Amino acid sequence: MKTVYIGLLGCGNIGSGVTKLLAEMRAEWRENYQVDPVVKAILVRDLSKQRPEYVDTSLLTDDKDRVLMDPEIRYVVECLGGEHPSADWMCEALRAGKHVVTANKMALALHWRELHDASESGRASLYFEAAVGGAMPIIKILHDSLQANRIDRLTAIINGTTNYLLTRMTEEGLDYQDVLKDAQALGLAEPDPTADVEGEDAMYKLSILSSLAFHRHLPVTDIEREGMTHITQDDIRNAEELGYRIKLLAHATNTAEGMDAYVSPMLVPAHHPLASVQGAFNAVFLHGHACGDMMIYGRGAGSAPTAGAMMSDLINAILQTADDRAPQASARENEAPAVMLKDRVSAFYIRLSAQDTTGVLAQVAASLSERQIGVKALLQPVERATEGAQITILTHPASEKNVRAAIAAFDKRAVRVMNVLRVEASDL
Ligand SMILES: NC(=O)c1ccc[n+]([C@@H]2O[C@H](COP(=O)([O-])OP(=O)(O)OC[C@H]3O[C@@H](n4cnc5c(N)ncnc54)[C@H](OP(=O)(O)O)[C@@H]3O)[C@@H](O)[C@H]2O)c1
């Protein structure tokens, strides 16, 4: 039996979930792996805070060195969150030769190279399955199961909160603000929901996924980002009539011409597997030249699913020997910076409120056709018109620059642009 000492940084939702699961699994790990996992110290900020009954409060400390400087602790589970001091303390642990397991997408995305350099210098491994997709083993699949593939495209629902909000808006006809209040009361949205609804959380996760999938680091600064707060019932109903659902997607492609990455609300065809991902679930849909299309689906957050993914990383870290240290993602990366595409091709949904006079639609159509933008569908739901005539246009795939230029050229005295959304148009 090998006794291993573990230090926890943080004991909030996830940290306490890790202590619970470790206690539950201890007997099984002893029997199945001949490993006895012992938590030696748990770092928190506030020692006086009430903790769940399954947390052994005698292990709590507010001194980080009780975890980082203890030579007996070989495994550090980081559950602090945020950029600093998490990134610094993870680097410190790695440089000291401690293996680190983290769920922290923000620190990881913003300090990708630094963390991987620290892991090289300490010959220690960094595990981060829980940072993207909670219980869904997408990191391991990208890292260890798809090496025979050149992945050229991934599209993902990787923020459970926004998918929950959009699902309820779609299913129940509710407005964003009402669903948000409900989600906050249920603990499914943060009191300050900005990071989720403005797409920041998905952006960090997309940076991590793309860096692994494309073997080239994709910094968050190369990811275009748009949130979902401007989606209204008009957009949801229009999308439905046109045969689509609206989802907040994280999308990245890697072609010979360059990479492209963005987070934005998009219309997804109702028959696309991502359209059926409901509530707080997550899914990653990807394409590899050998595997073709593939979708991984599962619970993207929550204490138990996330703690479970961290526990699985932890046992992998414990079972690795010094010689078979987990290959680090950065070791497989092309170090040249990503070349980003200057333009992209996408179909678009354009919702307009137009003056009910002759010639308005003709001017809109002319502006589009002058820039080689074909119209695939036109919708004018008279009964829902609130001000002027509501016109919704679905374009064929076209240069995004051209579409934005055409919209900018619409006659502003006659037309108000209410919303413009990309349309997921992969051939399925
Ligand atoms: N919640 C989820 O469903 C979920 C899902 C996937 C990934 N994650 C990731 O998991 C990580 C943890 O999230 P969480 O929801 O568990 O956060 P949380 O509930 O806010 O817990 C954070 C913990 O870290 C401690 N802490 C924070 N800053 C500290 C500092 N400077 N010094 C000492 N202790 C400090 C806090 O101490 P006190 O308790 O004393 O305040 C608390 O115990 C984040 O990176 C998050 O993105 C969360």
CA of 103 to the centre of ligand 1 (A): 9
In CATH terms, 138-299 corresponds, of 3.20.20.370, 3.40.50.740, 3.30.360.10, 1.10.3720.10, to 3.30.360.10
Question: Hey, whose CA ends up nearest to atom 41 of ligand 1?
Answer: 45
Predicted local confidence at residue 389, as pLDDT: 87
Same topology for domains 138-299 and 345-423, yes or no? Answer: no
The class that CATH gives domain 345-423 is alpha beta
How far is Cα of residue 23 from the mean position of the Cα atoms in its chain? 29
Q: What angle do CA 409, 414, 418 make, to 5 degrees?
A: 75
Ligand 1 in reach of 81 Cβ (< 6 A): yes
Q: Please say whether the beta carbons of 288 and 152 come within 8 A.
A: yes
Q: Please say whether the beta carbons of 239 and 247 come within 8 A.
A: no
Please identify which of the residues 64, 98, 105, 205 carries the catalytic annotation. Answer: 205
How far apart, in whole angstroms, are the C-alpha atoms of residue 292 and residue 159?
24
Please state, as a whole number, how many other Cβ atoms lie within 10 Å of the Cβ of residue 278. Answer: 15
The class that CATH gives domain 2-133+303-332 is alpha beta
Residue 2 falls in the annotated catalytic set: no
In tens digits, the chain (428 residues) has pLDDT values of 999 999 999 999 999 999 999 999 999 999 999 999 999 999 999 999 999 999 999 999 999 999 999 999 999 999 999 999 999 999 999 999 999 999 999 999 999 999 999 999 999 999 999 999 988 999 999 988 998 899 999 999 999 999 999 999 999 999 999 999 999 999 899 999 999 999 999 999 999 999 999 999 999 999 999 999 999 999 999 999 999 999 999 999 999 999 999 999 999 999 999 999 999 999 999 999 999 999 999 998 889 999 999 999 999 999 987 666 665 666 667 778 889 999 999 999 999 999 888 889 999 999 999 999 999 999 987 665 556 789 999 999 999 999 999 999 999 999 999 999 999 976 55
Report strand pairing: 345-354 vs 389-395.
antiparallel
Ligand 1 in reach of 104 Cβ (< 6 A): yes
Ligand 1 in reach of 103 Cβ (< 6 A): yes
Place of tokens 């009910």: 356
Omega of the bond leading into 85 within 30 degrees of 0 (cis)? yes
Domain ranges of the chain: 2-133+303-332, 138-299, 345-423
CA of 11 to the centre of ligand 1 (A): 7
How far apart, in whole angstroms, are the C-alpha atoms of residue 43 and residue 128?
19
Ligand 1 in reach of 85 Cβ (< 6 A): yes
Q: Please say whether the beta carbons of 387 and 353 come within 8 A.
A: yes
Please state, as a whole number, how many other Cβ atoms lie within 10 Å of the Cβ of residue 200. Answer: 20
CA of 425 to the centre of ligand 1 (A): 38
Rg of the chain on CA atoms, in Å: 24
CA of 331 to the centre of ligand 1 (A): 29
pTM, 2 dp: 0.96
